[in-house]
Amino acid sequence: MNYISTRGKAPELGFEEAMMTGLARDGGLYVPGDIPVMAKDEIAALTGLSYEEVAYRVMRPFVGRTFTDDAFRKLIAMAYAGFDHPARAPIKQLEPNQFLLELFHGPTLAFKDFAMQLIGQLFQASLSRSGERVTIVGATSGDTGSAAIEAFRGLSNVDVFILYPHGRVSEVQRRQMTTPTEANVHAIALEGDFDDCQARLKDMFNDHGFRDEVRLAGVNSINWARVLAQVVYYFTAAVSLGAPHREVDFTVPTGNFGDIYAGFVARRMGLPIGRLFAATNHNDVVNRALKSGYYDKNAVIPSFSPSMDIQVSSNFERALFEAYNRDGNAVSLLMEDLSLHDGFKISQGALQMLTDVFGSGMTLESATLERIKRTALETGEVVCPHTAVGLDVAVRKARRGIPMITLATAHPAKFPDAVEEATGKRPPLPSRMADLYDRPERVTKAPNDLAALQSLIRGRIDT
Ligand SMILES: *Cc1c(COP(=O)(O)O)cnc(C)c1O
């Protein structure tokens, strides 16, 4: 399997190189040269298998010869061993035809663990083979950072630097990043918002001298391996509700478009997904783009669902690449418009391709709290604010007779303030992390400045 850049001007890479590289050298994102299709009987055969076995069968064709079959199975087993639910991604029914896919049973309580725990294993296997050392730098709106730190803490051939927007993550998110004591973990509070963190990260990748000097590696959802790991739970969920013999729809709380794009890949692989609905909070650039054909970015306004407070939705580029029939030049021009003019216009044909698959909806703050409250009253389920944004859209978009599955992207205890405001009760942390509030924090503040960040990183990896 070879991987190509969405901007068409970077070298083709194999799975392992694409995973280690992160962002392509032309500024694009890597995608598979072609997406393998699973036959109907292969999908039917997934029914009743363990999460790990489904993961193996779904991901195997994408990985090529990077790992032997046996080694890949073992890495998957280790990745999910730390989850506290035997189903890994259990599904719950809320009302007729409305289902919740719980993706928060991993070590840091958000869906990011599904990809990050696996990437941790894959990186470690690959680096111990090559004897190389890498510097991982990640940008986070809260959950990616904690999941990455959890996956890479203490590994001998990796330093991990996480840039998060100062003052804009929840206390639980922050503490998950600042309390690990391992010397290879570096939490950096950047003076800016998430888009600033992501922009400085991209600047570092585009500074090829720096990139090579520190052996920069990326674990944001620009990394194809992240997306791949997330394809799996679309399969387990759809199959448990009758796929391949029955169509299902999904609603996905969306920020950077990585999670929903994984659903798109599952659909391309032959899983009978009807529609994929992107649910946003008031930072609704994706919702507006899908409705109007104009992607125009605004300032980020903080919300109850901070992991979706984004205006530059990186993985949207991968969907555009498909909508423009894999024309890297066309995508490059759009991205140039985005960086010069803060927006771009999607062609009529491409918009048609996008909206054939993707629908969208936006949930305002008051409706988010109302949805948390109502879901708790009616079903007993306490959901996080991101999940509530999704559920509110799912209820509006559900189609008669077609199961609607909403991705429950985080555990409510990760966002206790919003949940308490909605329900009057503070959701408790799972007992294994009950002492999170007592552990000492370690964090470095940094300005929103590329040179300053680069010298900070150089200084830390020298020692
Ligand atoms: C990351 C995250 C999202 C958004 O996912 P994207 O892949 O960035 O669209 C939604 N909810 C939670 C809890 C998250 O951590």
The minimum-distance atom of ligand 1 relative to the CA of 256 is 8
- For the CA of 111, the closest atom of ligand 1 is 15
Using a 6 Å cutoff on CB, does residue 263 contact ligand 1?
A: no
Expressed in angstroms and rounded, the spacing between residue 209 Cα and the centre of ligand 1 is 31
Residue 418, domain CATH: 3.40.50.1100
State if residue 258 touches ligand 1 by the CB under 6 angstroms criterion: yes
CB atoms near residue 116 (< 10 Å): 31
CA-based max dimension of the chain: 61
Find the 143 Cα to ligand 1 centroid distance in Å: 8
Residue 255 CA to ligand 1 centre (angstroms): 6
**384 CA: nearest ligand 1 atom:** 13
Q: Which atom of ligand 1 is nearest to the CA of 409?
A: 13
Cβ of 257 closer than 6 Å to ligand 1, yes or no, is yes
Report the candidate in 105, 10, 71, 27 with the shortest Cα–Cα distance to residue 312.
Answer: 27
Which atom of ligand 1 is nearest the CA belonging to 142? 15
Alpha-carbon distance of 19 to 29, in angstroms, equals: 11
Q: Whose CA is nearest to atom 15 of ligand 1?
A: 143
pLDDT per residue as tens digits for the range 89-111:
999 999 999 999 999 999 999 99
Quick check: CB of 259 below 6 Å from ligand 1?
Answer: yes
Q: Is residue 252 part of a domain?
A: yes
Residue 249 CB neighbours (<10 A):
22
| Angular region, 380: left φ>0, alpha ψ -120 to 50, beta rest | left
Q: Where are the alpha helices (DSSP H) in 219-257?
A: 224-240
* Amino acid identity at 276: L
Q: Can you list the residues of the chain whose pLDDT is less than 70?
A: 462-463
Q: For residue 165, how far is its CA from the centre of ligand 1 (angstroms)?
A: 15
Ligand 1 contacts CB of residue 410 (under 6 A)? yes
Q: What is the DSSP letter of 307?
A: G
User: Is 151 a member of any domain?
Assistant: no
Ligand 1 within 6 A of CB of 180? no
Q: How many domains does the chain divide into?
A: 1
CB-CB contact of 216 with 331 (8 Å): no
CA 33: distance to chain centroid?
21
Cα(130) to ligand 1 centroid in Å equals 32
Please give the residue range of the domain that contains residue 412: 91-108+225-423
- Name 444's Cβ contacts closer than 8 Å, sequence gap at least 6: 186, 187, 188, 189, 456
Pocket test residue of 29, 101, 104, 143 for ligand 1, highest count of atoms within 8 A of CB: 143
**Is 81 part of any domain?**
no
The answer to whether the CB of 386 is under 6 A from ligand 1 is yes
333: Cα separation from own chain's centroid: 25
Condensed to tens digits (0 to 9), the pLDDT of residues 225-269 reads: 999 999 999 999 999 999 999 999 999 999 999 999 999 999 999
Would you say the CB of residue 146 lies under 6 angstroms from ligand 1? no
Phi and psi at residue 105, to the nearest 5°: -95, 10
Residue 339 is assigned to a structural domain of this protein: yes
Alpha carbon nearest to ligand 1 atom 2, residue: 307
| CB 162, CB 151: distance < 8 Å | no
What is the residue-wise DSSP string for 264-287?
A: HHHHHTT--EEEEEEEE-S--HHH
Where in 65-192 does DSSP place strands (E)?
A: 91-95, 98-102, 134-139, 158-165, 185-190
Contact 309 CB / ligand 1 (< 6 Å): no
Give distance in angstroms: CA of 459 to centre of ligand 1: 31
DSSP conformation class of 82? T
How many whole angstroms separate alpha carbon 416 and alpha carbon 447?
Answer: 29
Q: 307 alpha carbon to ligand 1 midpoint, in Å?
A: 5
Catalytic residues: 112
- Which atom in ligand 1 lies closest to the alpha carbon of residue 262? 7
State the DSSP code for 247. -
Q: Is residue 232 part of a domain?
A: yes
| 389, part of any domain | yes
The verdict on residue 335 lying in a domain is yes
Q: Is the CB of 221 under 6 A from ligand 1?
A: yes
Ligand 1 touching residue 407 (CB < 6 A): no
Would residue 306 count as lying in a domain?
yes
127 CA distance to ligand 1 middle (Å): 28
pTM: 0.95
The strand pair at 248-253 and 273-280 is best described as parallel
Cβ count near 183 (within 10 Å): 11
